[in-house]
Chains A and B, each alone.
Chain A
Amino acid sequence: MKPAKEELLACVIARLIGDARHVAVGAASPIPATGAFLLKQGNPSLRISLLQKRTGNPFTAGSRELFDLAGQGRIDVFFLGGAQIDGEANINLVEAEGKRFPGSFGSAFMYFSAGKTILFREEHSPRVLVKKVDFVSAPGWSPPGVQRRGGPAALLTGKALFSWQADKHRFLLESVHPGSSAGELRGVTGFDYDEPARVPDTGVPTQAELGLLRGPVAEAIGENYPEFARRVWGGSRAV
């Protein structure tokens, strides 16, 4: 069976998490959670804190504990999205073109405090990926003198993967997912970015990865994201 788009993205996320010890996953983020659980299959000591876990939640000191953990440097990887994301990795969760979004949540703190942040937004369009955000919920980089432990590591969309160049404050196109092309991307990306002479395709999931995703990972995800698990892996997987 062909890999689903969600499976491909989860595999990319697993690679981006890399050798982290502690990944925290915010609300409504089933694909990042899937990537983290995939990685855990080969690295059982990886700690995954799912903020939205309704029972057996990892936090016992209330909702401020996540931020206290991050403030101390106990969270290596976090995920953020945005109604808008711009070419300097600023994110906007508040308002754009007269439209109101829910708000900034903890982004203005977590973007600084987590070891690294993976920006993830499936929609890849000029509406989302803009030259300059209308409102900076959290800045992509900080001037010298402002203490900042972490920042963006990469931007993953439904069409491509970019890495962040901290020295240039610019994204670099790393790879393009199957079904898209480097040429097509310029037209649907509102910001300018660097690009190698030859842009590789994003690696597709291996048979081994697919086996894990459709077995133990689907089961773990089904407990916390039943709707998502049903959609991607079918009714029998969801709990």
Chain B
Amino acid sequence: MRVCVLYSGGKDSNLALLKAWEKLEVGCLVTLIPESEDSYLFHYPNVSLVELQSEALGIPLIADSSPDDEEGSLKALYRVLRKAMEVYGIEGVVTGAIRSTYQASRFQKVCWDLGLWCFNPLWLRDEISLLREVVRRGFEVVFTRVAGYPLRKSLLGVRLDESTVGMLESLKHYLNPSGEGGEYETLVLDMPLFKKRLRILESEVVGVDYDATLIIRRAELIGK
């Protein structure tokens, strides 16, 4: 079966991609770019970085814009998946949903309406074991946004490793350690399927403590 992967460029969609790659044929990546960080359904990716990741993977990308509200987000999702069906003949969709029944049920409904299979390989995963798997499987991941106490802006640009996983585990009573609720966001610079890795050339931290973003102005692909 040929599938597309809903792809934001962060750790969850990349791990979902890796699991899909191991068992199915991945036809393309699908990215929806919300108007702002307030989107109900989608993470707020930097589209130029997702294009680089798509190039690093050698997997084509379909990217489109999406309004932030629920109705507009869903319409955009129908539109972009129809395009993936037409252009790449996909029969299923893979998502990185972990625990959000709000997000998962909407993805399931859209897929059902379009005649597509829906796969959620990270569904109900223990968040800490998921983070450890990301580290163990050789992902190079950096934090690109923090959105709430107790995550400080000094975390931006820091690698996800055993130490930061331990830090997130120690904060699990304050936040969802996987960041699925938008507590933080990540960017994958390298993972096992990347033929090249991303290198950040120019970046800037904007915002205040507990609410800050790493804006990546320029990045390039380099050999592994």
* Bound together: no
